[in-house]
Amino acid sequence: MPEYDLDLQSIQEARALAVAARDAQRQFAHASQAEVDRVCAAMAEAAHAAAVRLGRMAAEETGYGVPEHKTLKNVLCSKLLWDAIKDIPTVGVIRHDPQRKVYDIAWPMGVVAALTPSTNPTSTVMFKTLIAVKARNAIVVAPHPAAARCCLETARLMAEAGERAGMPKGLVSCMSKVSLPGTQELMCHRYVALILATGGAEMVRAAHSVGKPAYGVGPGNVPVYVDRSADLRRAARYIVASKAFDHSVICATEQAVVADRPIAAQLAELMQAEGAYFVDEAQKQALAALLFSAGQLINPKAVGKSPQQLAQLCGLSVPASARILVARLDQVGRTEPLSGEKLTTVLGWYEAGGWEAGCERCIELINFGGRGHSLVIHAQDDNVVMKFGLEKPVFRIVVNTLGTLGTTGLTTGVMPSMTLGSGGVGGSITGDNITVHHLYNVKRLAYELHPAPEAAFRPGSTDDPIQLKRNGASGAAAAATIGPSAGLSSDRIDEIVRRVLEELGR
């Protein structure tokens, strides 16, 4: 079939799904909290039951990552996410301040266009569907072309479960004919009220350029600082496991270690025992050429690959036991490609003399493609931890845990999320972990607390030049109405006339 036919079909499908979503959302907007929660619980249960199958399907279709790890992300974005948001009120009065006499009333956004990535496809569909419907929105998923089938299947089974529980048909849907023009048509459609964009920088820029409210996420060049006070054995285990998790396709994965120099050698040795293979200079150059063959953007063929797959792609030999590849670096920026975000099992390595120098190196890395995103720190010294928390231009700083699982809410108390805001410094409207609270507006019903000042009820002064202009008074007429009989001096009259003439542009 010619490509333009697919584009036309994709555009038409986007329009049809947006219209159906709008009609379904108009019905669902009147649902009670109990009805909303029954629908969401059914969808979460269906997604959780299919977590293993969908994780395998995502890995097979995209060629990225590890099926077992994708299963864990599916569990996070179904059962664990629902456990975190199920008790959040989203219908009617959600808060009341009796002292201030203010009622907060939740109001849905409408139709949400959800752009999903190829790296975390099924888990992102689950996540966005649950938070959108919990807030009484409709959602239309626009999958990455490389993950269209697994996204469609995830949306299908969740929609069927929701409809069995009383959800209007069309409230949850996914595009099956995927093309760039079709996705653009969906984002621009008049019935789409909000865009949720998770993916590469180009996708996020496109979402923000539509002129509609949009939540997007930027790249995550996440440094992990290991202080001399850290539990080194745990730090080594966590860093290797986190970087190897799903072959490093989560944007909050550690991208470079910054090791405090007094403990650097011991940390490297402990990481090697966990499966970290430190490459030599020639191997480092070969990896850089493979990963960034087209400039700053990573080569799609290298995304989400094991060390052995990467070695095969660039003609290297690495041990079968290697879980990640580590490259020693000494610069940050364009001259050192491996200092940027690497959505694969390659980790940078820096050494710094003391936490202050480590702090500066981390800021360099964050500024090179990760502003506003995340940082990991391993330390037992709370003063060092707080210094990093206060000074780093990122909105998730996770302590003594895995970057991949801590930032997304599996091992920490932050909200479970697959869309991690990077705030104003990273080009996003928020630095939050996007969740249900971001998917509804709040109306406020407020009663009078204090009587209005008496001055509010008095007529305006007759020497107000703006009022005089509105009344059509000329400068001379104005002077006549406020002459000596009004008790004004000649200087005051001259000043008023001058103000009126200036207001009239004369």
**Residues with a known catalytic role:** 251
Q: How far apart are CA 131 and CA 42, in angstroms?
A: 14
Q: Find the helix packing angle between 51-62 and 67-75, rounded to 10°.
A: 130
Which of 119, 133, 172 is closest to 29 using CA atoms? 133
CB 341 within 8 A of CB 293: no
| Residue 70 CA from chain centroid, whole number | 19
Which of 183, 221, 229 is closest to 202 using CA atoms? 183
The structure tokens listed for 498 are 């001058």
Q: How far apart are CA 284 and CA 431, in angstroms?
A: 34
Q: How far apart are CA 491 and CA 497, in angstroms?
A: 10
CA pseudo-torsion sign 21, 24, 27, 32:
negative
Burial of 355 (0-12, 13-18, 19+ CB in 10 A): buried
> Which strands make up the sheet holding 102-108, listed edge to edge?
93-97, 102-108, 440-446
Q: How far apart are CA 372 and CA 215, in angstroms?
A: 14
Distance of CA 276 to CAs 257, 324, 398, 438, Å? 12, 5, 22, 39
Q: Find the helix packing angle between 121-134 and 51-62, rounded to 10°.
A: 130
97 three-state secondary structure: strand
CA pseudo-torsion sign 118, 123, 125, 128:
negative
Q: How far apart are CA 146 and CA 127, in angstroms?
A: 19
Q: How far apart are CA 38 and CA 51, in angstroms?
A: 20
For 448, half-sphere exposure in the C-beta direction (CA atoms, 13 angstrom radius) is 4
Which of 467, 260, 207 is closest to 384 using CA atoms? 260
Using the structure block, give the residue that is written with the tokens 């409207």. Answer: 429
